[in-house]
Amino acid sequence: MGDPRASEEPADLQPAAPGRLPRVDNPATDYALALLVGFVEAGVTDIVMSPGSRSQALALAAAELERAGAARLHVRIDERVGGFLALGLTRETGAPTVIVTTSGTATANVHPAVLEAHEAGLPMIVVTADRPDELRGIRSNQTTRQDGLYGTVVRSTRDIPAPVGDTDEQDAARSIARAAVDEAVGAVTADPGPVHLNLAFREPLSVAVPQIPGILPGELPETAGPRVLGRPVIELEDGPLTVVVAGADAGAAAADLARAGGYPLLAEVSSGSRFGPELVVAYRELLREESFGGRVERAIVFGHPTLSREVPALLRRSDVEVIVVAPTGAEAYNPGRRARVVGGVNAPVEVDLRRPEVRAWVGSWVFASRRLSEDAERSAAPASTAPDVQKARSYEPSDALAFARAELAAVRAPITRALLAEAVWRYTWPHDRLVLGASRLIRDADRLVPGKKIVVHSNRGLAGIDGTIATATGIALASAAQARAEGGASGVTRVLLGDLAFLHDVGALLGGAGEAQPHLQVVVGNDGGGTIFDGLEVAATAPVEAFDRVLYTPQSVDVAALARAYGWEHRVARTKGELDQALSAPPPGPSILEVPLPR
């Protein structure tokens, strides 16, 4: 992080005339350059690279593309970090990112990000360097079975023989690159996700890469859409008492349908749908009540719900019609294995939102949710610490003094998980980005934060704790690049996560030398271990020592020392006032805000 160029913004991508590429009479270098140029011509703008000998031709070709202004290059020494960085770039842009690794264990370190890309339907292109055929199967150093390594989770896999210098190899490499982009974005199958190219190289593994003119990234192929999967867009019938369920990555379509149909909107915090007058924040509690959840006759599901037990319980009921909207993807969320999966839905043509029964249905959910939320707020902030606004308007000195004391007490109030989640949500605005880790805090946020139209990301495909900081870094870099391209100002990317998720991805604190630093604020709720496991039923009966050792996994890491080691700014917030100050004015560049929490 100490590199003097680290604060510079990357150059804008520059166009130039495409054509035949220069040759250097080294098959590895010629092929590597042609392959990466093919990716750029097909619409790729970001390449993530980890160092290695077998992949050196690809690495040097990527560096030349960066010099020519044709692509943005991100270098990370840890392939797992690189994989999730690529995932974050793609999460924000929707465009596939290419990640390049050397041979051996490096290829396996990308696997967690490949799995998440598969489950989340995010395009990613993994290029792994390998030994040629004659070095396979003889226990050659750093050689394993890389072809087919990622199994069934990739949309396609191709084992490419080592180039030998034939005249048509460069054209073939560019064609392979374009086909890989097509497959990654789902242009053929309407099933976006990761693809794998395993590319063999023989020695000599590279030479100096000649300078090339800038190459403007091409247009990404359009997905074929739900027609290829045979999923129709249906017209909903009016009548059944309906709720809209929005899980991770549902997007605005869920909120739009709730508005058009007059349906209660049960939107998770990572859905991108948590806004609008139909929003029901306290959906968990209401789904458990017979007068609300018990009356539901139809549920329309968008995205991937993962944050409650009540939603899958609803969708398994035999008396509830379940419609799952899945425009892309071979698999769809279907916990009861009885849902009707469609490509899209339209609200009933004949629905009249002014009808008393329509207004009563959605209104009862919304008002009941508000009452439950207000009760929760009162229990979280006792009247003894909440300032009385009426006393602030009084001319009596005693009232003014009482208000001042109450206001000071509120500022000095200790931070709870609920208060932390609410504060991070409150200080995030539409030009910002919010990333929620797979920690206890995302569930706290889901239970209480109000509606707000902001961009929220979370790796809920497999809901793992790995790669959270790396993913957030990719999101921060991509959103800043997009803001520059549009001539606007970018905001801050905040990531809210627990201490174990933070420590699991601590390697992501190391950026690439000479690369722009992300405007990223990592907010760590530090309760000394995995308190999410305290909610397990077995916690009430298991021996405390055994439970803590293998589940809670206590830790006492000096987060401030870690921040100093990696060159990140570090602050600690122990009171509400300190938290508000830190969130309202995050420092430029990367920073860590540590918030101690009780177990």
**Most confident of the following: 143-152, 370-379, 454-463:** 454-463
**Most confident of the following: 179-193, 210-224, 404-418:** 179-193
190 shares a domain with 274: no
Task: Name the pLDDT band for 402 (thresholds 50, 70, 90).
Answer: low
User: 80-84, 95-99, 221-225, 275-279: which range is least confident on average?
Assistant: 221-225
Residue 227 pLDDT? 41
Neighbours of 531 (CB within 10 A): 20
Domain presence at residue 3: no
Distance CA 198, CA 157 (A): 8
Position 442: which residue type? I
Task: Name the pLDDT band for 351 (thresholds 50, 70, 90).
Answer: confident
Look at the alpha carbons of 404, 406, 410, 412 in this order and tell me if their dihedral is positive or negative. Answer: positive
207 shares a domain with 231: no
Distance CA 42, CA 70 (A): 12
Residue 413 pLDDT? 84
- Mean pLDDT value across residues 442-464: 95
Residue 3 pLDDT? 42
Domain presence at residue 323: yes
Residue 144 pLDDT? 87
Residue 406 pLDDT? 66
Distance CA 111, CA 375 (A): 45
Does the pLDDT at position 446 exceed 90? yes
Residue, of 227 and 53, whose pLDDT is higher = 53
Residue 391 pLDDT? 63
Mean pLDDT for the chain overall: 90
198 shares a domain with 265: no
Domain presence at residue 13: no
Distance CA 201, CA 192 (A): 28
- Mean pLDDT value across residues 231-245: 94
147 shares a domain with 249: no
Residue 162 pLDDT? 96
Residue ranges of the alpha helices (H) in 335-467? 356-380, 389-392, 397-411, 417-426, 440-448
Nearest residue to 496 via CA among 590, 597, 593: 593
Does the pLDDT at position 87 exceed 90? yes
CB 331 within 8 A of CB 324: no
Position 196: which residue type? H
66 shares a domain with 201: yes
Render pLDDT for 102-142 as a digit per residue (tens, 0 to 9).
999 999 999 999 999 999 999 999 999 999 988 888 888 88
Residue 190 pLDDT? 80
| This prediction's pTM | 0.91
Render pLDDT for 189-216 as a digit per residue (tens, 0 to 9).
689 999 999 999 999 999 999 988 767 7
- The total number of structural domains in the chain stands at 4
450 shares a domain with 343: no
Neighbours of 456 (CB within 10 A): 22
Does the pLDDT at position 397 exceed 90? no
- Mean pLDDT value across residues 136-151: 88
Domain presence at residue 7: no
User: 11-15, 384-388, 440-444, 570-574: which range is least confident on average?
Assistant: 11-15
Q: In CATH, what number is assigned to the domain containing residue 125?
A: 3.40.50.970
Residue 10 pLDDT? 55
Residue 237 pLDDT? 92
- Mean pLDDT value across residues 335-363: 91
- Mean pLDDT value across residues 71-80: 97
- Mean pLDDT value across residues 267-274: 97
Does the pLDDT at position 228 exceed 50? no
- Point out the domain boundary residue: 194, 224, 254: 224
CB 448 within 8 A of CB 421: yes
149 shares a domain with 94: yes
Residue, of 405 and 561, whose pLDDT is higher = 561
Domain presence at residue 18: no
Residue, of 397 and 550, whose pLDDT is higher = 550
422 shares a domain with 391: no
- Mean pLDDT value across residues 566-574: 97
Domain that holds residue 36: 27-224
Residue 188 pLDDT? 66
Angle between the 79-93 and 111-120 helix axes, to the nearest 10 degrees? 20
Does the pLDDT at position 549 exceed 60? yes
Residue 19 pLDDT? 63
CB 130 within 8 A of CB 140: no
- Mean pLDDT value across residues 539-554: 94
Does the pLDDT at position 258 exceed 60? yes
- Point out the domain boundary residue: 186, 204, 224: 224
- Mean pLDDT value across residues 44-62: 97
